[in-house]
């Protein structure tokens, strides 16, 4: 693939802003789907459509990276950040899909709390992605995102403890809910991983 010598660095910032917005939109859809389940106005098809849009943005970013001689920051960081944002969306879509796949009747309060935290974390990630050019407000967004991830760890522990303490719960449902919790935690962890990459970009380009 031939590298272009014509600078198109501004396109990276546009695409990362779009990627952050897409991750936030998916987080909002999944949060509503969990909160309203089983009578949600949000379908898995809607979540999947937004996830597919996120895949397209990731492909655009990687294609742009592969064809540009000049990039706004380290090539490895650009690639890693694109993949990490995509991971957030993938984990959310898979967690949402498990609601139907596992025949879950009602969401647990811990799952609803997790999805709410993920929306808050995705909001901070979106802010950071939208300001990669100027870095204005990025540090504050990353600090808040880290706080939210720590809170997510607490909710996950409480959720798992609640599952294993209740002898009335079908062991199969315990396994299924643990899988759902793990997917949601994976989405939050991916937000933090993306935040760490952004922090490295800030340090290298300050």
Residue 3 confidence class, pLDDT cut points 50, 70, 90:
low
> What architecture is the 9-205 domain classified under in CATH?
Up-down Bundle (1.20)
The CA-based diameter of the chain, rounded to the nearest angstrom, is 65
Across the chain, what does the average pLDDT equal? 94
Average pLDDT over residues 35-49: 97
What Rg do the C-alpha atoms of the chain give, in angstroms? 18
Query: What pLDDT, on a 0 to 100 scale, did the predictor assign at position 38?
Result: 94
Residue 4 has pLDDT above 80, yes or no: no
Query: What are 146-158's pLDDT values in tens digits?
Result: 999 999 999 999 9
**Confidence band for 131, pLDDT divided at 50, 70 and 90:** very high
Distance CA 169, CA 172 (A): 8
Query: How do the domains of the chain map onto residue ranges?
Result: 9-205
For residues 61 and 100, give the distance between their C-alpha atoms in angstroms, rounded to a whole number.
Answer: 32
- 7: pLDDT strictly greater than 60: no
pLDDT at 112 over 80: yes
What pLDDT is attached to residue 163?
A: 86
| Nearest alpha-carbon partner for 186 in 98, 79, 59, 54 | 98
Q: Give exposure, 153-165, as e/b (b: 16+ Cβ within 10 Å).
A: eebbeebbeebee
The pTM score is 0.94
Evaluate whether 181 touches 159 at the Cβ level (below 8 Å): yes
Short-list 22, 41, 44, 43, CA closest to 123 = 22
Could you give the count of Cα atoms lying within 13 Å of 21 in the half-sphere of its Cβ? 10
């Amino acid at each position: 693939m031939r590298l272009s010598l014509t600078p198109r660095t501004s396109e990276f910032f546009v695409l990362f802003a779009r990627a952050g917005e897409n991750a936030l939109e998916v987080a909002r859809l999944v949060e509503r789907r969990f909160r309203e389940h089983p009578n949600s106005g949000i379908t898995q098809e809607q979540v999947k459509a937004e996830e597919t849009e996120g895949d397209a943005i990731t492909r655009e970013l990687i294609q742009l990276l592969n064809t540009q001689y000049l990039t706004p920051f380290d090539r490895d960081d650009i690639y890693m950040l694109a993949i990490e944002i995509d991971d957030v969306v993938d984990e959310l879509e898979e967690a949402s899909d498990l609601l139907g796949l596992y025949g879950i009747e009602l969401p647990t309060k811990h799952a609803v709390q997790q999805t709410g935290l993920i929306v808050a974390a995705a909001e901070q990630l979106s802010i950071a992605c939208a300001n990669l050019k100027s870095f204005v407000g990025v540090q504050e967004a990353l600090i808040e995102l880290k706080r939210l991830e720590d809170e997510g760890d607490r909710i996950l522990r409480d959720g798992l403890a609640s599952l294993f303490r209740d002898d009335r719960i079908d062991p199969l449902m315990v396994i299924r809910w643990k899988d759902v919790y793990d997917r949601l935690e994976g989405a939050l962890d991916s937000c933090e991983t993306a935040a760490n990459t952004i922090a490295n970009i800030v340090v290298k380009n300050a």
